Amino acid sequence: MNQTKSKYHHGDLRQSLIEAASRMINEEGIEGLSLRKLADRVGVSRTAPYHHFADKNALLCAIAAEGFRRWHNEAQRILSQTDLPPHTRYRQFAQGYIHYATRYPELYDLMFGRTIWKQASATEDLKAVAYPSFQHQVDITRQWQAEGLLPNSLDSLRLAQVTWGTLHGLARLVIDGIYADSSHIDEMVDTLVDLVCPPVKSLR
């Protein structure tokens, strides 16, 4: 029933749309994505997508949600390297974050840009993935504090906002092509780490 793909009902439009849209977004940017071009490329009529997504925003939210899941996996991979000293792990986390953002700049813009979050247009599905991701950042920060990497005296939530905000800001400077260049990522991260947790009193 799903073997030879005749031209009956296409099979799984929903996933095809997400994939094709992701590809188009990565190639031409979010602004360059139109539902009509997308439908055309997938080979269906303009309004077919509306049977799988309420509107364009819902499609974007679905793509963003997948971006969150992918980043979560990547972050877990980095943070689970318990054999590395905290200092190194922190640096790798920071580098991983910005590299992820710069490898999929349009996706990152979708995940954290105002297109979605500004006027509360996030889907429930998206929130269900994104909010825990935000909370996760606080948990990680608390752990860094416990490891002595960040000062224990500061409030964890505020500290999480600042540390994440810093990564977010650097990522945006790079992917928005403003004042920072992707070839300087590692140097910038090094500078950041040196600035935020410099002493490493226990070692040096």
Distances (CA, A) of 189 to 68, 115, 179, 186: 22, 27, 15, 5
Neighbours of 113 (CB within 10 A): 15
Rounded CA-CA distance 24/143 in Å is: 38
Shortest gap between Cβ of 61 and a copy of itself (angstroms)?
A: 14
Of these, 26, 30, 48, 87, which contacts DNA (CB under 7 A)? Answer: 48
Ramachandran sector of residue 195 (left: φ over 0; alpha: ψ -120 to 50; beta: rest):
alpha
Stretch that binds DNA, among 54-62, 79-87, 139-147, 191-199 (CB under 7 A): 54-62
**Residue the block writes with tokens 């439908």:** 39
Instruction: Please report whether residue 117 would count as binding a copy of itself according to CB under 8 A.
Output: yes
Q: How far is the CB of 37 from a copy of itself (least distance, A)?
A: 18
Q: What does 117 bind: DNA, a copy of itself, none (CB cut-off 5 to 8 Å by kind)?
A: a copy of itself
d(CA 52, CA 118): 24
**Site for a copy of itself (CB under 8 A): how many residues?**
46
Residues at the site binding a copy of itself, with contacts judged by CB under 8 A: 29, 109, 112-114, 117-120, 134, 137, 150-151, 153-155, 158-159, 161-162, 164-173, 175-180, 184, 187-188, 190-192, 194-196, 198
